[in-house]
Amino acid sequence: MNNRRHFLTTTLGAALGTQVSSCAALTSAGGHIDAHVHVWTPDTEKYPLAAGYKKADMAPPSFTPEQLFAHCKPEGVNRIVLIQMSYYKTDNRYMLDMMAAHPGTFSGVAIIDEKAPDIRGRMKALKAQGVRGFRLVPQGADATAWFDSPGITEMWKVAADENLNMCLLINPEALGPVAKMCEKNPQTPVVIDHFARLGMKGPADRAQLDRLLHLSKYPKVTVKTSAFYALGKKQPPYLDLGPMIKECRDHFGADRLMWASDCPFQVDPGHNYHDSISLIRDRLDFLTASERAAMLHGTAERVFFS
């Protein structure tokens, strides 16, 4: 962990020093879209960490939009979906401020407290600020009970009414309860992050992959092909993930898949941004040009920027 922090602090600090006016160069016209990135700032006075977190937990200590641009701009990525970072929990201000500071560059996925009042009002207020999704992470051992709780149930209803995405960070064990939610809420847009973390603990289990592929029967479900650094062999060029991506393509279609890096973790030592995007853009020969375009641009644009 110390080596990782040192590496990212030095390399990203150097990138920040050399990056000038990159935000002005990133426009909303053309280019690729990275559908999953976290940003945060070392300025914990203006943007305090949530209870339970301290500065030592921030690894790297800083990952600002400018530091991100140093990685994504050379690869032709000019729009990004920001995912609210857990360090801030339900205080979405830093993400929202970065979205406002870089018009046309960012969409956002926020976190709210599903137990607080006026869920509909809070979701609509965030939508007005450019948020297009809400991150849900099942709490407790019983995912079914959590999804059935009043606040989560209300969130899925509002998401259907407002065309907002329920963005699910789940483990494979939650795929069954997710299917039940999709059955009950067929008009709610759903995004599965990181293949539901299939392969995080080794080769993807066949039965679990089948449960992910089963979600393709629900037209409103899309899947992020992302976090390659954390799945399968966890080694670039990540070709071992090709068969799982192919099966997702075969079942969902490329227009329901979207590439994402999961930065800054994708640029940990031993990994880099280029190898992540290159897997989809350059290396998987079963993908057609139109399928690559969908995964690198079209799907995320429709889901998060339209």
Q: Name the residue with tokens 């992910």.
A: 212
119-127 and 150-162 helices cross at what angle (nearest 10)? 40
Burial per residue of 40-74, b for 16 or more beta-carbon CB atoms within 10 angstroms, e otherwise:
bbeebeebebeeebeeeebebbbbbbbbbbbbbbe
Instruction: Give the span between the Cα atoms of 63 and 6, in whole angstroms.
Output: 13
Calpha distance 282→199 (Å, rounded): 22
Helix (H) or strand (E) holding 213: helix 206-214
Q: What is the DSSP letter of 282?
A: I
Name the strand (E) or helix (H) holding 289.
Answer: helix 289-293
Residue 5 has pLDDT above 90, yes or no: no
Structural domain range at position 49 = 2-305
Domain count, the chain: 1
| Residue reference for tokens 């990056």 | 19
We report the CATH number of the domain holding residue 249 as 3.20.20.140
Label residue 268 by pLDDT band (50, 70, 90): very high
Q: Is the pLDDT of residue 2 over 70?
A: no
Q: Which of 25-34, 84-93, 164-173, 277-286 has the lowest mean pLDDT?
A: 25-34
